[in-house]
Amino acid sequence: MTPEVNTRQKTRHESLGLSDEQAVDMYRKMRLARMYDERALLLQRAGKINFHVSGIGQEAAQIGAAFALDKEKDYFLPYYRDYGFVLSVGMTIRELMLAIFAKAEDPNSGGRQMPGHFGCKRLRIVTGSSPVATQVPHAVGIALAAKMRNEEAVSFVTLGDGSSNQGDFHEGCNFAGVHKLPMIVMVENNQYAISVPLDKQVAGRISDRALGYGFPGVRIDGCDVLEVYRTVKEARERALRGEGPTLIEAVMYRLAPHSTSDNDMVYRSKEEVEMNWKNDALPRYKAYLMECGLWSEEEDAQLIADIKSMVDRDIAYAEQAAFPAGEEALRHVYAEEEAGTWR
Ligand SMILES: Cc1ncc(C[n+]2csc(CCOP(=O)(O)OP(=O)(O)O)c2C)c(N)n1
């Protein structure tokens, strides 16, 4: 008798080296980021928080990328819509709530920065500034240091399509290309820079710019979480082999207005937004998991209920948490000397 041969075809995630548990976890994170975002929008409308910048429509790219990186070794420089990314590398809903309520316990900046300005040493997230694209030269410097120290690490940086027109982006990419630095740049091309559509920002493809910097540039479907995972994983392997940076242009659509201060109906139509909801990554990936027999409507309902109670609990916590003390306002702004040591 010949032994039974397993002829079952590998699923897409299995062929990428992802376990069933990891594939489901990606979906859990997508749902978590989405529900956080929806509640943040409501909190702003209710007057409980001042401001929110939404990442709705961009979660798949953020989560696919996070799963392909090494949380113990790599350095992360996310931009202000990357809730899916920071939640996937270990930030909690409670911490995000503390940030939007501007409370002292916010690990990102102790309530000083605008929401979405991530920074957390514990999670290897490097503090970012408000001027867009300034994180790119920071990522370059970190990649240079990693290379000089022979660390097995990459720096991963994200930015928007509009920000890829800034000098910081070009100068950073050029330097990283010359020195073959272990850096991955992911442009989250959500089609708009506030009110300016993509065709008024760039005449060519963003991914093609990499040609001029001397490293590969790829344009991928940013609403396909597994495709983003595959691309970032390959880019990381290239970087660790000493072959230098990769530019990834993840194409997606910003489904919410630019921020809670923006009226997007002034520069785009309701029909256009509705049409793009049809490509929402969440139902698409949920359908994939259901086809694989890894997810059910019951599990989905349970997940949504669990996230809702976590979000409710963390909002209650953040609401009652203390604001930073007035006398702390200048801490971390100027260097301080205490008992002979700089902190
Ligand atoms: C150097 C600089 N110029 C202008 C701004 C104001 N600003 C904040 S977000 C933004 C749009 C950026 O668009 P994009 O890079 O496409 O990212 P998106 O917000 O669409 O995700 C602008 C112009 C800024 N923060 N920094």
pLDDT, tens digit (0-9, with 9 covering 90-100), for 310-328 = 999 999 999 999 999 998 8
Cα(132) to centroid(ligand 1), Å? 6
Spans of all domains in the chain: 12-255+268-319
With beta carbons less than 8 A apart as the criterion, state whether 54 and 138 touch. Answer: no
Atom of ligand 1 nearest to the CA of 201: 16
pLDDT digits (tens, 9 = 90+) for 288-299: 999 999 999 999
d(CA 35, CA 103): 21
Which residue CA neighbors atom 17 of ligand 1 most closely?
160
Neighbours of 150 (CB within 10 A): 7
Contacts of 282 (CB under 8 A, 6+ apart): 27, 30, 31, 34, 59, 60
> Residue 3: pLDDT band by 50, 70, 90 thresholds?
low
Q: For domain 12-255+268-319, is the CATH number 2.60.15.10?
A: no
Atom of ligand 1 nearest to the CA of 163: 15
Cα(136) to centroid(ligand 1), Å? 14
pLDDT of amino acid 342: 42
End-to-end, the C-alpha distance of the chain in Å comes to: 72
d(CA 96, CA 213): 36
Per-residue pLDDT, averaged over 41-62, amounts to 98
Active-site residues, by number, are 254, 258, 267
Q: Give me the percent of the chain exceeding a pLDDT of 90.
A: 90
Atom of ligand 1 nearest to the CA of 134: 1
Mean of all residue pLDDT scores within the chain: 95
pLDDT digits (tens, 9 = 90+) for 118-137: 999 999 999 999 999 999 99
Would you say residue 7 has pLDDT above 90?
no
In the structure, which protein residues have their CB atom closer than 6 angstroms to any atom of ligand 1? 81, 130-132, 159-163, 190, 192-194, 254, 258
Would you say residue 6 has pLDDT above 70?
no
pLDDT of amino acid 338: 63
Cα(294) to centroid(ligand 1), Å? 39
Token pair 């659509």: residue: 253
pLDDT digits (tens, 9 = 90+) for 245-262: 999 999 999 999 999 999
